[in-house]
Amino acid sequence: MHLTDPQIILGTMDFGTRVAPDTAFAILDSFVAGGGVWLDTANCYSFWSDPSGVGGASERVIGDWLRARPGMRETVRIATKVRHNPLVPHAWPESAEGLSASAVHTGVAQSLERLGVDHVDLLWAHAEDRTAPLAETVGAFGELVTKGVALRVGAANHPAWRVERARSLAREQGVEPWSALQLRHSLVQPRPLTPLAESAHRLLTPEDLDFAGSEGLAVWTYSSLMWGSYVRTDKTLPDIYDHPGTTQVLAVLAEVADELAVSPNQVVLAWLMQQGIDPLVGVSRVDQIEQALGARGVRLDEEHLTRFAAVR
């Protein structure tokens, strides 16, 4: 799963809901024109914003874009997720599909139909489902790889020990193991042991990075730009980030961005990529994805990294 250089991943969560299809098309076109490759979506995006009360809008927009751009499927790689889509409109989490074998196979089949493709390049388990035997989930994901429906598989919002347990079960079953992690991570950190308001989110930990490094797993991170809070005065950080460490980090971030004559967002993305992390970027305008892609040319030296390490 690891590529030679970390990538900017285009997060498409709001496509078809908060981001209109024509705007989404323009963002996708700009992303590809700028050398972007990976699109990240999920079958549940975005049920909370969709009047229908179920997901699928993001995948449908990507599918429509692929049909309108012949040959583009060979250029982009598509990652989607199963686990959270409500089976009953407006009834989440009680009707969330889960990770039973039947739920995984049904969810993926529906995703492929919406996307208009015969396979995805990466399939994520969007979150844990402890009501389903882990061995059953692992077997279902492995079967999809064997069939060529998914080329690779990964775990989003899972603790490292569960991923390692799943990888052990995959070895026992002789199927493809999860080889990528997706977790929430950014330059600023919340107060320790403080619950996140977004209960489905799981923060990246040093243990996750150590585990990924030792096993050769890819690491993707989301909410890395903190919903615009690094660059917009009208977007304040959540209360759990209100502590002295954040003030210190933001001061160093402003200094480094000024020294390099780039935006704070670009510094954050460069900081992540220099750790071998692939950050997801969700945008609502073309200029935002253009700026994000520009982070690939930003290089932080050891002195910059040391300054960040000293305040985190």
* 4's tokens: 């030679």
> What residues does 80 pair with on adjacent strands?
123
**Given this model, what pLDDT does residue 3 score?**
43
CA angle 102, 105, 107 (to 5 degrees): 100
How many other C-beta atoms are found inside a 10 Å radius of the C-beta of residue 253? 21
Rg, the chain, Cα only: 19
Give dist(CA 16, CA 56) in Å, integer. 9
State the amino acid at position 176 in one-letter form. Answer: E
Return the CATH superfamily for domain 9-311.
Answer: NADP-dependent oxidoreductase domain (3.20.20.100)
Digitized pLDDT (tens) for each residue of the chain, 312 residues in all: 444 589 999 999 999 999 999 999 999 999 999 999 999 999 999 999 999 999 999 999 999 999 999 999 999 999 999 999 999 999 999 999 999 999 999 999 999 999 999 999 999 999 999 999 999 999 999 999 999 999 999 999 999 999 999 999 999 999 999 999 999 999 999 998 899 999 889 999 999 999 999 999 999 999 999 999 999 999 999 999 999 999 999 999 999 999 999 999 999 999 999 999 999 999 999 999 999 999 999 999 999 999 999 999
pTM for the full predicted model: 0.96
Q: Which of 252, 266, 260 is nearest to 306 (CA)?
A: 252
Q: Which of 26, 89, 22, 9 is nearest to 56 (CA)?
A: 89
**Given this model, what pLDDT does residue 1 score?**
43
174 within 8 A of 146, measured Cβ to Cβ: no
33 within 8 A of 304, measured Cβ to Cβ: no
**Given this model, what pLDDT does residue 199 score?**
86
CA 81 to chain centroid, in Å, comes to 10
263 within 8 A of 291, measured Cβ to Cβ: yes
